[in-house]
Amino acid sequence: MTRASSRAGRPGCLALSRREMARLQAHARRAYPEECCGVLVGRRGERTVVVSVHPADNQRRESARDRYEIHPGEVLRLDRAAAREGLEIVGFYHSHPDHPAEPSLTDAEQAWPAYLYVIVAVSAGSETEVKAWTYDDTLRRFHEWRIEVEPERAALVGSGPSTAVTGR
């Protein structure tokens, strides 16, 4: 899994299509009052582009209300599929039921530098805000990234990946 990035920890721009934004928001609403989680696949650059959103099962069954964990086998499977398409895992997403879309202490303890963390705040079953963050392990703090929602994937990356990564 590629983890190196010259922009690690510094604020930037995350771009994704309306369709992919809607997928992660719908996942957060369905999972409420528990946390949802998933993987973001795309390309890094001046703008990190999310090509596809991959919902995952939250493995933290006993504490799903305020914790999440993605099965390592699922991350490895997606990483390999993404690499075959010239893509990579650029980050992860999860929801904060009845809490703001701000990283928690637990998020900071478990964050990997160079990855994006998208947090969806969900209150009473409806998303209230979506924010993107990267973790700077030198400064030991998160930096917020701007999110650009584009009308169509074609505007972001051309023809897009095959169904092997997108699962469609």
Give the model's pLDDT for residue 163. 39
Q: Are 54 and 38 in contact (CB under 8 A)?
A: yes
Pairing of strands 13-17, 47-56: parallel
pLDDT, tens digit only, all 168 positions of the chain? 544 444 455 679 999 999 999 999 999 999 999 999 999 999 998 799 999 999 999 976 676 566 788 999 999 999 999 999 999 999 999 999 999 999 999 999 999 998 999 999 999 878 789 999 999 999 999 999 999 999 875 444 443 444 345 443
Closest alpha carbon to 91 in 50, 144, 137: 50
43 forms beta bridges with 49
The closest of 152, 161, 164, 149 to 14, measured between CA atoms, is 149
Give the pLDDT confidence score for residue 68 in this predicted structure. 85
- Which amino acid, 168? R
Active-site annotation, residues? 35
pLDDT at 157: 46
- CA-to-CA distance for 111 and 94, rounded, in angstroms? 12
- pLDDT for 153: 52
CATH class of 13-157: alpha beta
pTM: 0.85
The domain ranges of the chain are 13-157
Residue 150 confidence (pLDDT): 92
Instruction: Tell which residue, 93, 88, 89, has the closest CA to residue 27.
Output: 93
What was the pLDDT predicted at 65? 64
